Amino acid sequence: MYQTTYHRASSLEDAAKLHAGGDDPKFVAGGMTLIPAMKTRLSAPSDLIDLRHIDGMKGIRISGQQVEIGALTTHADLAQSKELEKACHSLHYMANHVGDPLVRHLGTMGGCVANNDPAQDYPAALLALDATIITTSREMKADDFFTGLFETALEEGEIVKAVRFTAPDQCGYEKFRNPASRYAMTGVFVAKGAGGVRVAVTGAGDNGVYRETEMEEKLAANFSADALEGVTVSPSNMMSDIHASAEYRANLVVVMAKRAVAKAAGH
Amino acid sequence: MGIEGIGARVARKEDKRFITGAGRYVDDMVVPGMKHAAFVRSPHAHAQIKGIDVEAARAMPGVIDVLVGKQIKADGIGNLICGWMVHSKDGSPMKMGAWSPLAVDRVRYVGDAVAIVVAETKGQARDAAEAVEVDYAELDAVTEAPAALEGGAPQLHPEAEGNLIFDWGLGDEAATDTALASAAHTVELEIVNNRLVPNAMEPRAALGHYNKAEDHYTCWTTSQNPHVARLVMSAFYNVAPENKLRVIAPDVGGGFGSKIYIYPEEIVCLWASKKTGVPVKWVADRTESFLTDAHGRDHHTKVKMGFDADHRIVGLKVDTIANLGAYMSLFSSATPTYLYATLLSGQYDIPAIYGNVRAVYTNTAPVDAYRGAGRPEATYVLERTMETAARQLGVSPAELRRKNFVKSFPHQTPVIMNYDTGDFAASLDAALKEADYAGFEKRREEAKGRGKLRGIGMSCYIEACGIAPSAAVGSLGAGVGLWESAEVRVNAVGTIEVLTGSHSHGQGHETTFAQLVSQRLGVGIDTINIVHGDTDKVQMGMGTYGSRSGAVGMSAIVKALDKVEAKAKKIAAHLMEADEGDIVIENGELKVAGTDKTVPWFQLALAAYTAHNLPQGMEPGLKETAFYDPTNFTFPAGCYICEVEIDPDTGRTEIVQFVAADDFGNIINPMIVEGQVHGGVAQGIGQALLEGTRYDETTGQLITASFMDYTMPRADDLPSFRISTQTTPCPGNPLGIKGCGEAGAIGSPPAVINAITDAIGTNELTMPATPQKVWAALRSATRH
């Protein structure tokens, strides 16, 4: 790790001030991606601004069908929430299957959203749930927020405060883990709600999380795994690496989608 | 068996400090004035060094000095060597290229050490290492051994034309060709044994301390064999004469072979300590471990096996290309030759065998012995071939093996080894029963109903441990003898210290060695301390590898105990006015057989040291030393049966059952032996399913350089193992021990791959059988 200056922000205003004063500053919450990158000297922020002690950014608020999750809520908080399980069992399941216990107790929803790692789970959930991302300066739909590999619509200094979505009628998430890192090598989240069916894929697309619109159409007509019989995904827009070729990932998208739908239907 | 004697499941004495975080590793060592080192390493797989500018780095905060290869050469520090001479078929000696501890004019793999920075803190040393400017002229690189042999391939060392280190053969080629030509059936396969990164939990580390006033060096290092390290550093690297060099290997967190070798870093830290006048500590980070620990395996092999009409093996021919990486590591020449081709007879009576091995330089990390060392490669070749043969002949894989088993002992194979004892059918039968082999087809059908492809595969392995008779290995080219030493020191009140040349880095010697003493003297293991890992305490030893500590290390203790007992009996006989021949040692007492006369052990010890009343002319004290040189290798053997279920949609393999039936000879502590089997099988399953080292074939960059991309086995990748032992005591050593440390890693990979290929119906599969590969194999099998 290179030398860095650690700051504990007391409020969002304080965080903004610290950020403006830094040379090459970075916000940190759980640090589950950033700290390992810093340890291997791949990332070298001049200032590390810790957001975890800011009040009011943690917790799950559920009112009727509306679910709002504070950005500093950890995976473990989500994984232990009975209310969340009732409102959206697949997001609850997802939180239970992120990383390992250490990661789940440190990593946060906001950190995952802002980092938009192409193998992270939450972007698939938020995109499929048609969620709204609430930041220090605006509200954005997930469709507009996630823009590419590790890329989001966040401006310099803008902080994710919370995410909000309407609980779906039915949902399912299935992921196939990378054998080494255990991140999603392909994860598919399906959600059926008032707005129709949405299918979001993480870990597979070469531009990060994306929606499988052909599957959405078929599932809108018939929300069952059978509806996806014969559907194929083109490998042309898939990531390819030593663990999974584009062809293999394209196959996994279909397999995981079918299993996610079956899970949703069986719940 | 007493409650703490041989055969007892005694909890490990050393675990208290390990599981409470109180172990003392090299990184825990602190010497007054100690500073920290970072190595500047090559980012290129192959390049000319045109110049090194250290001035900017030297001016960085906290930097004490920056030292480079030209300086170490000027100071007369020698090149690293390979300690086992292998001759090619044409009689020429192996072609060893120069390996300078710090590269002087050329780097040959990513991670090659170029300079050392010594600074006040580790962070400062690392910062300054990045400021060292090395002017590289990049050269083309080659990472795969077959490609390195092709004309026009990048050349690594001027000494080794065509990158060929040796072209070696073992066995009778003409007889083998004749046998294969007349065979009724032949089976041919091309087999790749994947390269592995050892990944011991504790990374390598070294602390070099030069004491100017005494003109003496101390080196704390993560070594499996500190005495060999001292010998080599004295005799070949000119660091210091042996009497001026103390090597200490304290608690060491796993080795698996990778800590046998002497690496550049410990040599450079010692030299740098003298140059800078401060003690210098270096601890590898995980990336350095991936890049620079000696890797394992990496063979490309063509095999042909012939059978007569009755399905008896008539001949076996093996042609292997072994990748040794950029430099020859300490035992790199022996691993793919005398530890590999000598095991090609397996458990079978094969009249004609010929093995050809070409060892090759590539722009990759050095490759050397890794848990099993040559025997996993031999077992994989043989057992993949046997299973394939059974499928092609349409016979039971179990019965084809049984028909060809060696059944009488001793058995001389055509490839040097003389098997002393064994009962291969006993392990096969035990495994078949435990695995319910006969009921498999029913389970396959049931799995089919759940959409899963179920397969079963077996492996009957034999390996050679307890290395080895010194004269024998000397005649084969070893630069050292492979005996072991022991010293048993009885203190004045009867407590005991056993000094051993073996080194425990996870094996549990502090427990098992104490169990042996407890068995012999009838004293509790808490009164016995095992001392190892320090050249100032233990005079000489050959260390721990090749599953040799039981068969060789404990045999030396037996010999020393024999001498202690003999002297103790003389003293006891004198004290009790009895005949020496009537004295027996039981439950911590020396007794006159058939009487009620006894002397407690502590009183006997005290008598030896007070020396008030000893037999006429006897020296005071009770301390004896012994060296034990084995008479033969030992031959652990067994049968492993693996059962898998494959998800055809994703290619994911689940191991649903794993049975191990092993003959390790006599066992000191069954619990520790079971732990060794569990760990070994986990590593073997790791090789078969998960671990695949990948270099970029063009740039030579290590792609799998972290746990994000290199898949280490985890608990949920593994089933609960069903293990048993069958025992034929080894006739070659006093305890009847064969060794158990490597068998799991040797026997398991072919059992796993045989099971997967059985499930998917195609042999077109290489290790590691990742989900992607199994899915692709299934797809291409359906397409054909």
Decide: residue B657, CB within 10 A, 0-12 exposed, 13-18 middle, 19+ buried: buried
Amino acid at the residue B563 = K
Q: Which of B233, B218, B252, B241 is nearest to B544 (CA)?
A: B252
Question: Residue A252 is inside which H or E element, if any?
Answer: helix A246-266
> Is B596 in CB contact (< 8 Å) with chain A?
no
Can you read off the two tokens belonging to residue B228? 């060999």
Alpha-carbon distance of B547 to B551, in angstroms, equals 8
| DSSP states of B299-312 | EEEEEEEEE-TTS-
Contacting residues of A for B704, CB less than 8 Å apart: 180, 242
Q: What pLDDT, in 10s, does the model give residues B113-154?
A: 999 999 999 999 999 999 999 999 999 999 999 999 999 999
Alpha-carbon distance of B13 to B19, in angstroms, equals 11
Is the bond preceding residue B670 a cis peptide, omega within 30 degrees?
no
Contacting residues of B for A1, CB less than 8 Å apart: 123
Tell the residue number behind the tokens 């093995």, with chain if given. Answer: B355
Q: In the prediction, which pLDDT does A202 show?
A: 98
Alpha-carbon distance of A176 to B775, in angstroms, equals 13
CA-atom Rg of chain B in angstroms: 27
Mean pLDDT score of chain A: 96
Q: In the prediction, which pLDDT does B1 show?
A: 47
Phi first, then psi, for residue B242 (nearest 5°) are: -55, -40
Domain A170-266 in CATH 3.30.390.50: yes
Classified as helix, coil or strand, B433 is helix
**Dihedral-angle region of residue A13 (phi above 0 means left; psi in -120 to 50 means alpha; beta otherwise):** alpha
Average pLDDT of A136-161?
Answer: 97
Helices (H), strands (E): how many in chain B? 20, 28
Domain residue spans of chain A: 5-50, 60-166, 170-266
Domain A60-166 in CATH 2.120.10.30: no
Can you read off the two tokens belonging to residue B546? 């090749």
Specify whether the CB–CB gap between B241 and B234 falls below 8 A.
yes
Tell me the HSE value of B367 on the side-chain side, using a 13 A CA sphere.
29
Tell the residue number behind the tokens 């007054």, with chain if given. Answer: B32
| Check: complex ipTM more than 0.90 | yes
| B342 DSSP 8-state letter | G
Say yes or no: do domains B31-139+201-254+259-292 and B373-463+635-783 share a fold: no
Can you read off the two tokens belonging to residue B615? 């037999």
* Shortest CA distance from A39: residue in chain B: B285
Q: What pLDDT, in 10s, does the model give residues B364-420?
A: 999 999 999 999 999 999 999 999 999 999 999 999 999 999 999 999 999 999 999
Alpha-carbon distance of B129 to B40, in angstroms, equals 5
Alpha-carbon distance of B228 to B503, in angstroms, equals 11
Contacting residues of B for A252, CB less than 8 Å apart: 650
* Shortest CA distance from B777: residue in chain A: A248
Q: How far is CA B747 from CA A195, B170, B347, in A?
A: 57, 23, 12
In this complex, do B694 and A242 lie within 8 Å of one another by their Cβ atoms? Answer: yes
Long-range CB contacts (< 8 A, 24+ apart) of B241-246? B244/B215, B244/B216, B244/B217, B245/B216, B245/B217, B245/B218, B245/B219, B245/B270, B245/B535, B246/B216, B246/B217, B246/B218, B246/B219, B246/B534, B246/B535, B246/B536
In this complex, do A242 and B690 lie within 8 Å of one another by their Cβ atoms? Answer: no
Angle, helix A89-96 to helix A246-266, in steps of 10 degrees: 130
Question: Which B residues, 698 through 717, put their C-beta within 8 Å of a C-beta on chain A?
Answer: 703-704, 706-712
Domain A5-50 in CATH 1.10.1740.10: no
Where does B243-312 show beta strands of DSSP type E? Answer: 245-248, 280-283, 299-307
Question: Given CA atoms A113, A114, A116, A117 in this order, what sign does their dihedral have?
Answer: negative
Q: In the prediction, which pLDDT does A266 show?
A: 85
Residues of chain B with pLDDT under 50: 1
Q: In the prediction, which pLDDT does B564 show?
A: 98
Q: Which of B404, B323, B419, B357 is nearest to B171 (CA)?
A: B357
Can you read off the two tokens belonging to residue B489? 């020191």
Question: Which B residues, 759 through 778, put their C-beta within 8 Å of a C-beta on chain A?
Answer: 770-772, 775-776
Q: Which of B60, B44, B70 is nearest to B129 (CA)?
A: B60
Tell the residue number behind the tokens 């003297």, with chain if given. Answer: B521
Can you read off the two tokens belonging to residue B127? 């910062």
CATH architecture of B373-463+635-783: 2-Layer Sandwich (3.30)
Question: Residue A26 is inside which H or E element, if any?
Answer: strand A25-28
Task: List the single best residue of A174, A176, A238, A239 to mutate versus B (max B Cβ within 10 A).
Answer: A176
Question: Residue B509 is inside which H or E element, if any?
Answer: helix B509-521
Q: How far is CA B637 from CA B421, B641, B680, B744, B781, in A?
A: 10, 14, 14, 10, 34
Chain A positions contacting chain B at CB under 8 Å are 1-3, 40-41, 176, 179-181, 242-245, 248, 251-252, 255
Kindly list the strands in the beta sheet with B637-647, ordered across the sheet, starting from the edge strand earlier in the chain: B453-462, B637-647, B652-663, B722-725
Q: In the prediction, which pLDDT does B783 show?
A: 65
Distance in Å, alpha carbon of B250 to nearest chain A alpha carbon = 27
Phi first, then psi, for residue B736 (nearest 5°) are: 70, 25
Question: Which of A180, A252, A255 has its CB closest to that of B709?
Answer: A180
| B784 DSSP 8-state letter | -
Fold classification of B31-139+201-254+259-292 is Aldehyde Oxidoreductase; domain 3 (3.90.1170)
Classified as helix, coil or strand, B609 is helix
Phi first, then psi, for residue B44 (nearest 5°) are: -110, 150
Q: In the prediction, which pLDDT does B35 show?
A: 98
**Dihedral-angle region of residue B321 (phi above 0 means left; psi in -120 to 50 means alpha; beta otherwise):** beta
* Shortest CA distance from B708: residue in chain A: A181
Beta-bridge partners for B644: B455, B655
Q: Which residues touch B142 (CB under 8 Å, ≥6 apart)? A: B148, B153, B154, B163, B362, B363, B700
CATH architecture of B483-628: 2-Layer Sandwich (3.30)
Specify whether the CB–CB gap between B482 and B225 falls below 8 A.
no
Looking only at the bridges linking them, the beta strands covering B637-647 and B652-663 are antiparallel
Contacting residues of A for B707, CB less than 8 Å apart: 180-181
Question: Which of A40, A176, A181 has its CB closest to that of B287?
Answer: A40
Alpha-carbon distance of B682 to B680, in angstroms, equals 5
In this complex, do B772 and A255 lie within 8 Å of one another by their Cβ atoms? Answer: no
Neighbouring CB atoms inside 10 A of B50's CB total 10
Contacting residues of A for B694, CB less than 8 Å apart: 242
Question: Which B residues, 106 through 135, put their C-beta within 8 Å of a C-beta on chain A?
Answer: 123, 126-127
Domain residue spans of chain B: 31-139+201-254+259-292, 373-463+635-783, 483-628
Amino acid at the residue A131 = A
Beta-bridge partners for A208: A206
Q: Which residues touch B16 (CB under 8 Å, ≥6 apart)? A: B22
